[in-house]
């Protein structure tokens, strides 16, 4: 059995910017969070500080943070094997971000593609949105993280994190572990059900394009059955020629554990109706229990709060040691204990 002392350290976070996570979040990252508990010392975080880089409603954010934590527990994040907490409950994240921001070049930060994409869609762009990747770097480096399970869209931010860790170590002496990405290739980008040229996102132009984990089972079935395919009737993996069918095959294989080539054989000579109908049942049966378990965690407020406070206390025990080391290296006085 792997002990916490010998296990590789893992950190990952997710924003509470929606009432529910979606299938892309689950297959692209969250399912790996659960699997990594088996042989890792895992720290998992609802990154609510990242969520205020855009206009938000404080009451909605507060509730979504709780709902996000409840979903993570429902998905299988086990507080006995992982440290689950809310980012704002650990002030060391923001404190280290200032130091790392002073190590980040303006041009370096300007090259982040997510900032370009998000700022282009907003009338009011904040400094917080610009420095988002620096806070993400602080999130990771605080825990001396070795592996970071992330979606493909965060790959560039993780490279910045690695650069900042190496730069700080070079300038001030060994302080941070340089982390490695943990990205599952097969499901790193689940596509929009209505427009398979785009990744699945809560900002989908069609309400049927994004499949949420807290959707009712019948909603899930309808979204799968109305998913875009093509004018043929052949179930075949072909990302260029049949992106819609390919996306559904990837989802089917990921949820059922059946290899894509076997699914192609099973549906040879059958139409899309049979294929979508069977997939719709697999989706509803797999994700339905997650919604029920989430509601149970939300109904027991005291227990959910206990889990989050305990997780934050454990996280602070580790984060404070890293911050103290970074403070000393740059010449700061240590924070005064409460």
First to last CA, the chain: 38
Structure tokens that stand for 12 in this block: 């990952």
DSSP strand E in 66-151: where? 82-86, 147-149
Strand (E) or helix (H) holding 10: strand 9-14
Residues recognised as catalytic: 118, 199, 202
Give the separation between CA 102 and CA 162, rounded to whole angstroms: 16
Distances (CA, A) of 329 to 61, 145, 167, 175, 335: 35, 19, 13, 8, 14
Give me the sign of the Cα torsion angle 290, 294, 297, 299: negative
Structure tokens that stand for 215 in this block: 């959707």
Give me the sign of the Cα torsion angle 94, 100, 106, 107: negative
Residue pair 238/246 in contact by the 8 Å Cβ criterion:
yes
Residue pair 206/173 in contact by the 8 Å Cβ criterion:
no
Phi, psi of 305 (to 5 degrees): -65, -40
Residue found by looking up tokens 């692209």 in the block: 28
For residue 249, what are the contacts with CB-CB under 8 A and spacing of at least 6? 235, 237, 260, 263, 264
Residue pair 81/42 in contact by the 8 Å Cβ criterion:
yes
Strand (E) or helix (H) holding 41: strand 41-46
Whose CA is closest to 50, among 105, 83, 12, 10? 12
Structure tokens that stand for 323 in this block: 């911050």
């Amino acid at each position: 059995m792997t002990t916490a002392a010998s296990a590789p350290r893992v950190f990952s976070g997710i924003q509470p910017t929606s009432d529910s996570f979606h299938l892309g979040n689950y297959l692209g990252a969250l399912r790996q969070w659960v699997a990594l508990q088996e042989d890792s010392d895992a720290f998992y975080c609802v990154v609510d500080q990242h969520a205020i880089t855009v206009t938000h409603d404080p009451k909605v954010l507060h509730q979504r943070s709780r709902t996000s934590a409840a979903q993570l527990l429902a998905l299988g994040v086990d507080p006995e094997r992982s440290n689950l907490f809310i980012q704002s409950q650990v002030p060391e994240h923001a404190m280290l971000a200032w130091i790392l921001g002073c190590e980040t070049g303006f041009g370096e930060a300007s090259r982040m593609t997510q900032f370009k994409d998000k700022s282009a869609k907003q009338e009011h762009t904040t400094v917080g949105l610009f420095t988002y990747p620096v806070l993400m770097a602080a999130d990771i480096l605080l825990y001396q993280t070795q592996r970071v399970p992330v979606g493909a869209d965060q790959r560039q931010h993780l490279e910045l994190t690695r650069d900042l860790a190496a730069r700080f170590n070079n300038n001030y002496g060994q302080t941070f572990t340089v982390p490695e990405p943990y990205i599952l290739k097969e499901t790193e980008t689940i596509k929009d059900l209505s427009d398979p040229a785009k990744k699945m996102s809560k900002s989908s132009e069609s309400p049927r394009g994004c499949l949420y984990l807290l959707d009712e089972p019948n909603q899930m079935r309808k979204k799968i059955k109305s998913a875009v395919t093509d004018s043929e009737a052949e179930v075949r993996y072909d990302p260029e020629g049949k992106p819609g069918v390919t996306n559904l095959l990837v989802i089917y294989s990921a949820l059922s554990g059946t290899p894509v080539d076997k699914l192609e054989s099973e549906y040879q000579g059958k139409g899309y109706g049979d294929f979508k109908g069977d997939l719709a049942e697999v989706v509803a049966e797999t994700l339905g229990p997650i919604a029920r378990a989430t509601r149970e965690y939300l109904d027991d407020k005291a227990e959910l709060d206990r889990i989050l406070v305990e997780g934050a206390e454990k996280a602070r025990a580790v984060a404070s040691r890293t911050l103290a080391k970074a403070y000393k290296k740059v010449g700061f006085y240590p924070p005064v204990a409460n």
